[in-house]
Structure 1
């Protein structure tokens, strides 16, 4: 019995998980018309996916010219810092694929965290064409999320005020980690046709088990998208391998 929101798909290992998600993303993007918007996650599991997308057959099949890339969260550090989510995605995929520069929307890395969050929100609102999110018109086509061993996702950290933010689309998170962070908020993540959690490794089994048992207090368990919610997990994270 599962108390988790959405459906769960389980794969043998991280490689087969990444291959399936690459197929899933490509099919969704090819089926759509016009600009296709994807919010990216950091972490080792998404990194394997990004590397795969930048190789054949995906390199030749994926509709790169009309896909726009956004970040779900970022450490407030320079884009060339080894810990930067932007740098990871750039090295794994963006530098290897025919991505138009104007389709890459990285979070700012200058000014104060609060100023950077405000500027990124303005960028999103300009692209969306409105200052308020309309349930009938999701911003994103796909949101990718990870799962921390404390139940956080993106930089929606346990015990932080950002968990209660329902007006702003982007927020600075000053506490909870050694460095300040920028993150999309629940309203922004939830304005999506598809939200996918990518979870692998036995170290995630305990927290994923708590979410499956219905622990709704964990930040990751509180994501309620307008569209579908799916958990792509490997057997180790599912506790079956």
Structure 2
């Protein structure tokens, strides 16, 4: 399929397990390429069952020992504002799946402050914005992620940007506190669209028939205020990695199995 570098493309695998394996392999290839000459790779992780499965597949992959993990910095697209050891925390899931199994310096793992850190929700969001700014490029308030992983909810939400809420359209902040989230837990911290979309590559991983509608709407150009995933777009590439169950409404001309 012919596509410009920033177009949205879809890669389809038969099963969710095959999707996970494909993404893990592609991720390691990308990170190895990025860090080959000593360059830093900033990566934004997602939570959820599929996100953790991808990271576990990375941990078990034969290419993993070939990566210089000291050159990789890990961030999160959003975080649940709960205690530091709560299983609901994306960071806890990510550490169990991958980060505790690779030689990555502690200073390269950038977690959102937990609810028992002594910071309020607003302070946690402000602190994460300040941490992002430490690694921003010239004149930038955040780093450009080499890869930004995003899960997608059945309602079309990404990170903790939920449909028809003010956080979806915010452009004047890098990080926002989220209260009264429609999905538990109620309090969260999320990156905003400008930060997510400054990523070189946005990879969205969707599995299951319940995601087919959100994927179809995203590819059809729905309003991102109503379907936040429709507004996700990397500067170089935007790739939806999906299984056949989620791909029911994907136009043939957007499928790119070669990616």
Q: TM-score, normalised by structure 2?
A: 0.85
Match of 1:12 in 2: 14
| Cα distance between partner residues in 2 of 1:41 and 1:114 | 21
Aligned 1:144-155 pairs, distance under 5 A: 144-155=149-160
Root-mean-square deviation over aligned CA pairs? 1.8
Match of 2:29 in 1: 27
| Cα distance between partner residues in 1 of 2:220 and 2:200 | 25
Aligned 1:130-169 pairs, distance under 5 A: 132-133=140-141, 139-169=144-174
| Cα distance between partner residues in 2 of 1:11 and 1:191 | 27
For the pair 1:191 / 2:193, whether they are aligned, the reply is: no
In the alignment, which of 121, 124, 131 is matched to residue 113 of structure 1?
121
For the pair 1:210 / 2:221, whether they are aligned, the reply is: no
The total of aligned residue pairs comes to 233
| Cα distance between partner residues in 1 of 2:213 and 2:137 | 41
Give, in angstroms, the shift of residue 42 of structure 1: 0.6
For the pair 1:63 / 2:68, whether they are aligned, the reply is: yes
Q: TM-score, normalised by structure 1?
A: 0.91
C-alpha distance after superposition, 1:45-82 (max 9, x if no partner): 11111001111403312332211100000111112101
Q: Secondary structure at the match of 1:168?
A: coil
In the alignment, which of 194, 204, 208 is matched to residue 201 of structure 1?
208
In the alignment, which of 124, 136, 141 is matched to residue 128 of structure 1?
136
Structure 2's unaligned 5+ residue stretches are 1-6, 250-259
Give, in angstroms, the shift of residue 225 of structure 1: 2.6
For structure 1, which segment, 18-27 or 145-154, has the greater mean C-alpha deviation from structure 2 after superposition?
Answer: 18-27
| Cα distance between partner residues in 1 of 2:124 and 2:71 | 26
Give, in angstroms, the shift of residue 101 of structure 1: 1.1
